[in-house]
Amino acid sequence: MTEKEKARRRREIVSGKQIWINENEEDEGEEKDVLSVLGESIKCPFCYMLLDRPVTMSCGHNFCLKCFKKWIGQGKDTCVKCRSQINRQMIDQPRINLVLVTAIRLVKESRKNVALRRPQTAYPQVNQEDRPDNPFIREGAAKKAGMANASSGRIFVTIPTDHFGPILAENDPERNQGVLVGESWTHRLNCRQWGVHWPHVAGIAGQAKYGAQSVVLSGGYEDDEDHGEWFLYTGSGGRDLSGNKRTNKDQSFTNSNEALRVSCKQGYPVRVVRSHKEKRSSYAPQDGLRYDGVYRIEKCWRKLGIQGYKVCRYLFVRCDNEPAPWTSDEHGDKPRPLPEIPELEEALGIFERAHTSSWDYDEEEGRWKWKKPPPPSQQRVIGASLKDGKRTKKTPRKSQETSVKGTLLKGFCCVLCKNILTLPMTTPCAHNFCKACLEEAFKGKAFIKERKCHNGRKLRSQKNFMKCPTCPLDISEFLQNPQVNRELEDAIGRLREEFYESDNNKEDANEEVIEEDEKPSNDNKL
């Protein structure tokens, strides 16, 4: 290295634009550091593998969702590590800890030397404040609860309403990235603005002779079953319109139900949105709506429903190139065998696709793609406004260069104070809080509410409902004996030490270079 190159490199280090020569070697060393820090902390005590769909007990221990369900299925109701009693809410409806999912995915990406300096797109949140137009209620309109009488704001994507498959970057002039798996919205109208699901109320978007483009899982029918990568969906119709969610007549393959059957016949990809209203699913978001990628309908049939009427049923199987929000895998889906459905033995009119799918997996390219041309659109393109006949594109911001450890640390943040978790506690709804923040949120609240009659006579005491700070789930039972998540605390503590130690080493190296640069050279001597 010549003297000029040395001087240039010193200037780059001082200005913060240092270029590392052995960047790949440093990345490999950093990957080993991350695995050595988090390896034991994020392993399941049952299968001794990295946690897959991790669930956190009230005692603070973590397990794979599949292993946990197998343990509960054996009639066990105590933690396998500490033998403490498992919360009844966790047994009935285990929730996936998305913070651990993000951490495990980053570790897996670091194994394959994936550059983590770009913005993480696993769980992008569409902020309402950043949008130029939001759903609004017109002046003079009748006042109704919630968003029942709201109007949709500007559409941000340039696609027709009958667009099939994922929404790509070329259809997203606002951000130039498309709609990513894991994006979430507050209302159905926000979901409409990004073209993921167009109807305001209906759960199925489609046309009887053309096919269905998207569905929403919102817990409308008792027969629905959600298993993440596949689910059983109940068609529309047969409802009592008085609002009690009862079925009072048989469903048939007409209208939206026929649209789903057409998509099954042709093998079209169907966009799937999960809503927080689906309380029975472990894969539903805690609030709002979340885009979970595209699925393909493999079979459809009719059966006698729980309420005694015939309902249309559909088997959806995930087929997206992006990983699901609840899994720690860094790759998308691959073709998988169809699950066994016990109810098919008594099903009526089973329909299964007889020819190749329009949307299928390409073994050579290793991804899902259109094997046949997508159906031509029958609707006009609705989208962002054009200026001078050209789409305006926003250039993505350059991401700040952060280490793997720094990226992981940012993921371990408290929902309330937005700082890195200290003495982390994981509630049954899989939200993570600092111990001090959670205690402050419920300070002065009693678990039992004493009641008295108007004449002073004491009534039976009543349990006080304590809602989670971020979701409507009652966590009063958890708060009676809250436990710190020691595994998560240990991982954060060791990660913090490693991160700050590496930062200090870099600062010391920079100071040495600066001091060397400030020394007078021999050329200046007289």
3-state SS of 370-439 is: ECCCCCCCCCCEECCCCECCECCCCCCCCCCCCCHHHHHHHHCECCCCCCECCCEEECCCCCEEEHHHHH
CA atoms within 13 A on the CB side of 267: 17
Strands 269-275 and 211-217: parallel
Q: DSSP 3-state assignment of 325?
A: coil
Check: pTM over 0.85? Answer yes or no. Answer: no
| Per-residue pLDDT tens digits for 132-186 | 456 655 555 555 555 555 666 778 888 999 999 999 999 988 888 899 999 999 8
> Which pair of tokens denotes residue 111?
């194994």
Print the SS3 string covering 140-180: CCCCCCCCCCCECCCCCCCEECCCCCCCCHHHCCCCCCCCC
Q: Can you read off the two tokens belonging to residue 143?
A: 């006042």
Residue type, 166: P
Q: Among all chains, which residue has been given the structure tokens 């958890």?
A: 478
CA distance 419 to 412: 8
Under DSSP, the state recorded for 200 is S
Neighbours of 213 (CB within 10 A): 27
Of 283, 310, 230, the closest CA to residue 97 belongs to 283
User: What CA–CA distance (Å, rounded) separates 440 from 431?
Assistant: 16
Cβ atoms 420, 495 nearer than 8 A:
no
d(CA 334, CA 116): 24
Residue 273, Cβ density class (10 Å: 0-12 exposed, 13-18 middle, ≥19 buried): buried
CA dihedral defined by 438, 442, 448, 452, rounded to 10 degrees?
-170
For residue 418, give both structure tokens.
Answer: 């937005």
Contacts 24+ apart (CB under 8 A), 334-337: 334/361, 335/361, 336/229
Looking at residue 267, its pLDDT comes to 95
- Domains of the chain, start order: 128-136+149-382 (2.30.280.10), 420-481 (no CATH)
What's the pLDDT at 137? 54
Given a contact cutoff of 8 angstroms between Cβ atoms, the answer to whether 399 and 118 are in contact is: yes
The full length of the chain comes to 526
Position 108 scores a pLDDT of: 67
Sorted by sequence, the CB contacts under 8 Å of residue 123 that are 6+ apart come out as 98, 102, 182, 184, 325
Residues near 71 by Cβ (< 8 Å), separated by ≥ 6?
46, 63, 80
Phi and psi at 349, nearest 5°, equal 60, 55
43 - beta bridge partners? 50
Cα 355 to chain centroid, rounded: 33
Distance in angstroms (rounded) separating the CA atoms of residues 291 and 185:
9
- The C-alpha atoms of residue 162 and residue 115 are separated, in whole angstroms, by 36
Structure tokens at 175: 């951000």
Report residues of the chain scoring pLDDT below 50: 16-34, 113-123, 125-132, 385-402, 513, 521-526
Query: Quick one: tokens of 185?
Result: 């919205």
pLDDT reported for residue 314:
96
User: Residue 284's CB: how many other CB atoms inside 10 A?
Assistant: 24
- How confident is the model at residue 272, as a pLDDT? 96
Helix (H) or strand (E) holding 23: helix 23-38
Distance, in Å, from the CA atom of 464 to the CA atom of 228, rounded to the nearest integer, reads 34
**Residue 247 φ/ψ, nearest 5 degrees:** -95, 130
The 3 state secondary structure assigned to 65-116 is: HHHHHHHHHCCCCECCCCCCECCHHHHHCCCECHHHHHHHHHHHHHHCCCCC
314 three-state secondary structure = strand
In order, the DSSP letters of 254-279 are -THHHHHHHHHHHT-EEEEEEETT-T
CB-CB contact of 368 with 360 (8 Å): yes
Q: Given its phi and psi angles, is residue 60 left (phi above 0), alpha (psi -120 to 50 degrees) or beta?
A: left
- What confidence tens digit (pLDDT) does each residue in 1-54 have? 566 666 666 666 555 444 433 444 444 444 444 455 565 667 788 887 778 888
Q: Which amino acid is at 269?
A: P
Q: Name every residue whose Cβ is closer than 8 Å to that of residue 34 and which is 6 or more positions away in sequence.
A: 106, 107, 110, 404, 405, 408, 495
Give me the sign of the Cα torsion angle 85, 88, 91, 93: negative
